[in-house]
Chain A
Amino acid sequence: MRDLKEIQLAMQPPMVEGDHDFGSVSDKIGDITLKRKTPFHWFIGFGIAFIVAQLLMMTVTTLLARGIGIWGNNQPVGWAFDIINFVWWIGIGHAGTLISAILLLLNQKWRTSINRFAEAMTLFAVACAAMFPLLHTGRPWLAAYWLFPYPNTMGIWPQFRSPLIWDVFAVSTYATISLLFWYVGLIPDLATLRDRAKNKYFKFLYGIFSWGWRGSARHWHRYEIAYLILAGISTPLVLSVHSIVSFDFSVSQVPGWHASFFPPYFVAGAIYAGFAMVLILCIPLRVWYGMKDFITDTHLIYMGKVMLATGLIVVYSYVMEAFFGWYSASQYEQFMIYNRIWTGPYWYMYWLLILCNGMSIQLLWFKRFRESPFWLFLISIVVSIGMWLERFVIIVTSLNRDFLPSSWAMYSPTMFDWSMFIGTIGFFFTLIYLFVRFLPIISIFEVRTLLPAANVHGHPSDFDESVLGVEYTYDHTDPPNK
């Protein structure tokens, strides 16, 4: 049995390439924040992202001053960019949680070097997503009593039978758990940075946020338990959050929304979009920061395969959507499908969607495309656009022609719809750039566990401490076990 396991292990491609020991891993990742001069391309990228983020500031200011009438949505298309973008961003976050939680529980080693920034991506995407429904309330400072159940002076609670309130809980739980998970995972690395920082302000800040981590056996023991518990809590969230987001639509009766297969359809779409965003981020990152040893081609291929699998589920859902329209025998559902695909004013959006999400992904069947970072990057961008189109098609084409022809109307976004959407993209990348600059983008201590030195077989007396490549400082301040 043991032989078989060893053969299996040997057949797995290595997750860390190059000749690394514990010390060189810490150097390579930690130095990005601590020692290396901030590269010029960082300033360029951050500058562009920051300027684009100002579009968001401008839009939010105008919105608060003038109200949500600055957006193009109006009856019958009461939900448009605000909810499209909300679902788009929330979906993107899901890959981070899948990578960090489910792949951890499934013991997938390849998650180790991508989980840190995938989780950061989740957090920032949730922040962008939350802005849309909050600002759609028009007066976000009053949103607390519309959204959260607390003993308010009106003596009433939010409508608990509405999926919108489930959404509030789903998203706020998701944001909290994602933040905790990310932060708990960061603590040992923050301590590494604290110990290596020369600048005393950085030392202080990293020190505060590492909560006195000294890496004692007790610390590790508790850390492992906490991390596993958080992974356990996060795992259902991967499925539940986007299921509940899909309830926003499927609980209603609008043709094109009222379908029982929405939850799995949305969850698959979310993971699909999320992996596309992870690829968009990590392909340039590993080149710019020389991280190819840790984010290897194998990682990219695996992510490409996940994208292909989830993408095919999404394509299947598109087929099922059309099938349900026919099978429902409801004239409204049937009309909705004709309207969406062929006779309606937004038919080209549907075919763009099929092109982006359905066709482009088929390239990943071929090894040539899967193994080329360039093609993966390109397909990921196309998929991201496709996933945005999917939400546009679901939301706008269902609403603009519903039951009563007398209430049909077209939807067109205004300048502020676009500036808000593009602004959140700028905001997202601003946060990503700050993250890359100030925090370790790859989990240092977890990558160390992938090294051969971390899996020593044999008698302890054979163990040569020099392979660790780090000096051990024994900590005498740690009190003895009680």
Chain B
Amino acid sequence: MAQFFHKSANNIARISMILGVVLAGTAFYVYTQVARSSYLTGRYLEKQQPVQFSHKHHVGDDGIDCRYCHSTVETTASAGMPPTQTCMNCHSQLWSDSEYLEPVRASFRDNKPIQWERIHDLPEFAYFNHSIHVAKGVGCSTCHGQIDNMPSVYQENTLQMEWCIACHREPEKYIRPKSEVFNMNWQNSDLTDDERLELKAKNKIRSRELLTSCSTCHR
């Protein structure tokens, strides 16, 4: 009886066994990477805003404090988006006839807020409060990156749970003295390990168990 399969079928079978494992492994690796990619998280992506507001200019060049615009960051869950009136504090005098700022003046005239595109969008099932993070010594730049270097703001981190929980597990690695919270240039290496632990106690940061309890963030 003639052989039904050619001799090469043996090699095809062997190769397919190895290939199957390699393909499955590759597919798994690709999956774990795609799940963290900016395609899904929106990380590093700039958005077209109604007015091309530059944080680099206002914070970096002019030295305006974060809280001048995001005024509720120390007291409420939301950091607060400034009303057009805040812009007009200066821009009624500065560049008051600039074409570039016409949407701002229009908003002021018509009493209609500017529709900014949201950059940092946490899902609704995650309870997040700015004030507690600021109060415990988490700096703006720890999560938002060096805003003073961003002509157009983008999301510096993934905002995925593994990123949140990394800090909730070991907050001492990420905190800074309360006086430095709004300092954009503060470096993590400015403190030694012991100083950080001391700071954790001083800022009364709760235990790892409490910070990583499900209902701390999912209420």
Which of A's residues lie within 8 Å of B, judged by CB? Answer: 150-156, 194-195, 203-204, 207, 211-212, 473, 477
Contacts and interface: CB of A to CB of B under 8 A. Distances in A.
B4 interface: yes
B162 A473 contact: no
B165 A156 contact: yes
B161 interface: yes
Contacts, number: 39
Interface size for chain B: under 10, 10 to 19, 20 to 34, or 35 or more residues? 20 to 34
Contacts of B163: 155
Given A194-B4, A212-B5, A477-B3, A155 B10 contact: no
A477 B165 contact: no
Interface pairs A-B: 7 shortest CB-CB: A155-B162, A154-B161, A153-B160, A155-B165, A153-B35, A153-B162, A207-B4
Contacts of A154: 160-162, 165
Contact of A203 (B4, B10, B166): B4
A45 B217 CA distance: 54
Nearest to A155: B162
B13 interface: yes
Interface string B1-42: 101110101100100000000000000100010011000000
Contacts of A195: 1
Contact of A155 (B3, B9, B28, B161): B161
Q: Is the interface of A mostly helix, strand, loop or mixed?
A: loop
A473 B1 contact: yes
Interface in B30-84: 32, 35-36
Contacts of A207: 4-5
Interface of B: 1, 3-5, 7, 9-10, 13, 28, 32, 35-36, 158, 160-166
Interface centre among A150, A151, A152, A155 (most CB of B within 10 A): A155
Given A152-B162, A155-B164, 6 more contacts: A150-B32, A154-B160, A154-B161, A155-B160, A155-B165, A212-B9
B200 to A, nearest CB: 20
A204 B36 CA distance: 43
A204 to B, nearest CB: 7
Contacts of A194: 4
B37 to A, nearest CB: 11
B12 to A, nearest CB: 10
Nearest to B212: A156
B161 A211 contact: no
A153 B36 contact: yes
Given A155-B166, A156-B161, A477 B7 contact: yes
Contacts of A204: 4
A153 B157 CA distance: 13
Nearest to B35: A153
Contacts of B36: 153
Given A473-B1, A477-B3, A212 B162 contact: no
8 contacts: A151-B32, A152-B162, A153-B161, A156-B165, A194-B4, A207-B5, A212-B9, A477-B7
A283 B39 CA distance: 58
Nearest to B161: A154
Given A153-B35, A154-B160, A155-B166, A212 B4 contact: no
Contacts of A211: 13
Interface centre among A204, A207, A212 (most CB of B within 10 A): A212
Contacts of A477: 3, 7
Contacts of B3: 477
Contacts of B7: 477
A401 B183 CA distance: 60
A477 B162 CA distance: 56
